[in-house]
Structure 1
Amino acid sequence: MEERKLTVRSVERALDILLCFTRNDELGLTEIAVQIGLHKSTVHRLLSTLEEKGFVTRDRSTEKYRLGIKVWELSTHLAQSDDPATILFPAMKKLRDRLGETVSLYLREGNERLRIQAVQSTQAVRRVAPVGARLPLYVGASSKVLVAFATPEEQVELLNDPEWPDAVDRDYYMKQLQEIIECGYATSFEEREPGAAAISVPIFNRNGIITAALSVSGPVNRLSIEILDQYAPLLKEAAHDMGLMIS
């Protein structure tokens, strides 16, 4: 039993190491050890095993680690039949071609939102949206949509999160959520990123449960509040059609 516990603990620690790369493309040994709270010698042993199996790779010139080819190989075998990022990509591209701005798809994961798909703008000056980016739920159009249409219990849990920033007033935030529920979409102007504006709408599945947030974003000099309000019906229509594609 003790040996089994040690084996499970080793697996958990190895997975914790891999999860460090959800926010960083590359990390050094010390950075990883600090993030997961383990001694460097322990982390080094685990990294050596992960490197041997191809799950991480090490740059010999910088001694930095990156995700390895095995992670990519595993991802190619994901069940695409129920993967929203795959199913909704053609519809997202169609919306991008119609509006000319970057289109993104977000899921809620804990107290963060995760960008699982993006179609970049056709404009010369554009906002690049990297897939895999994790962003806080207390700021941004997509964040507010994901929270506005969450259950009351989930909203309370988020608002009571000890990491909730003091600069974001909870009462005002809840007022924003109510307005989003009433109009069916959210907008943001330089809330998270200087010079960027966005509009987001919820995607509900066939059971009426929110499964994702659909967003269009770009520079504030192109996306005024008037323009975003004009985009709202188009996004709602697209989101409705997308919701029929997923279970």
Structure 2
Amino acid sequence: MEDRKLTVRAVERALDILMCFTRGSDLALTEIAGEIGLHKSTVHRLLTTLEEKGFVTRDQATEKYRLGLKIWELSAHLSQNDDPATLLLPQMERLRDRLGETVSLYLRNGTDRLRIQAVQSNQAIRRVAPIGARLPLYVGASSKVLVAYADDSVIQSLLEGPDWPTAIDKTAYVAQLQEIRRIGYATSYEEREPGAAAVSAPIFGRSGKIAAALSVSGPVSRLSPLTLQEFGPILIDAAKDMGMMINS
């Protein structure tokens, strides 16, 4: 039994290492060790195994690690029926072409939102949305959509969690969620990032539960509060069409 526990612990630690790359693409051994709270020698042994299996690769010049080709090989075999990032990409591209701004797709993951797909605006000044970015659920149009349509237990857990920012009034936040459910979309104007604005709508799967949040974002110089309101109904319609393609 003890050997089994050690084996499982090694797997968990290896997965923790891989998850470090959701926050950076080129990481040094010391950075990874500090991130997951393990001694450098332990992390080095795990990285060596991951490197041998092709899940990470090491730059000989900088001694930094990045994800290996095995990760991309695995992702290539994701079923389109189960992967909204792949399934909805053509619709996201059409929405980008129509509105001229960056389009993103988010899922809720614990107390974060995870950007699983993005189509960048073709304009010279644009908001770059890196895929794989993990952002807090407390602020931002997509965050509010993912929370507004979540189960009551999720909302309550978020409000009562130890990470809730003291600067955000809970009563006002709950009122925002109610307004989002009433009009069907959320907006944010320099909430999380100065100079950026966004509008987001929920994508519901065939089960009726929220499957993802569809977002359009860009600089405030182009996305005024009035423009965000004009985009809202367009996003609702696009999200409805996308929802028909999702089985969950």
State the TM-score, normalized to the length of structure 1. 0.97
Q: In structure 2, what is the equivalent of residue 69 of structure 1?
A: 69
Mapping 1:156-235, distance limit 5 Å: 156-235=156-235
Q: In structure 2, what is the equivalent of residue 26 of structure 1?
A: 26
CA contact (8 A) 2:114 2:132 kept: yes
Q: Distance in 2 between matches of 1:30 and 1:172?
A: 42
Q: Distance in 2 between matches of 1:133 and 1:169?
A: 26
SS in 2 for 1:212: strand
The amino acid of 2:242's aligned partner reads M
Q: In structure 2, what is the equivalent of residue 80 of structure 1?
A: 80
Q: Distance in 1 between matches of 2:151 and 2:2?
A: 41
Q: Distance in 2 between matches of 1:212 and 1:234?
A: 16
SS in 1 for 2:81: helix
Instruction: Quote the offset at 1:75 in angstroms.
Output: 0.9
Instruction: Quote the offset at 1:81 in angstroms.
Output: 2.2
Q: In structure 1, what is the equivalent of residue 136 of structure 2?
A: 136
The amino acid of 1:27's aligned partner reads L
Q: In structure 2, what is the equivalent of residue 92 of structure 1?
A: 92
Q: Is 1:241 the counterpart of 2:241 in the alignment? A: yes
Q: Distance in 1 between matches of 2:240 and 2:101?
A: 19
Instruction: Quote the offset at 1:238 in angstroms.
Output: 0.6
Question: What do residues 162-183 of structure 1 show as CA deviations (whole Å, max 9, x unaligned)?
Answer: 1122222222211111111111
Q: Distance in 2 between matches of 1:206 and 1:2?
A: 44
Q: Is 1:58 the counterpart of 2:83 in the alignment? A: no
SS in 2 for 1:197: strand
The amino acid of 1:233's aligned partner reads P
Mapping 1:93-132, distance limit 5 Å: 93-132=93-132
Instruction: Quote the offset at 1:104 in angstroms.
Output: 0.7
Q: Distance in 1 between matches of 2:193 and 2:2?
A: 49
The amino acid of 1:234's aligned partner reads I
Instruction: Quote the offset at 1:136 in angstroms.
Output: 0.4
SS in 2 for 1:240: helix
Instruction: Quote the offset at 1:61 in angstroms.
Output: 2.0
The amino acid of 1:142's aligned partner reads S
Instruction: Quote the offset at 1:208 in angstroms.
Output: 1.3
State the TM-score, normalized to the length of structure 2. 0.97
Instruction: Quote the offset at 1:60 in angstroms.
Output: 2.1
Structure 1 unaligned regions, length at least 5 = none
Q: Distance in 1 between matches of 2:85 and 2:153?
A: 27
Structure 2 unaligned regions, length at least 5 = none
The amino acid of 1:126's aligned partner reads R
Instruction: Quote the offset at 1:9 in angstroms.
Output: 1.3
Q: CA RMSD in A?
A: 1.0
What is the total number of aligned residue pairs between the two structures? 247
SS in 2 for 1:153: helix
SS in 2 for 1:113: strand
More displaced, 212-221 or 34-43?
A: 34-43
Q: Distance in 2 between matches of 1:69 and 1:82?
A: 22
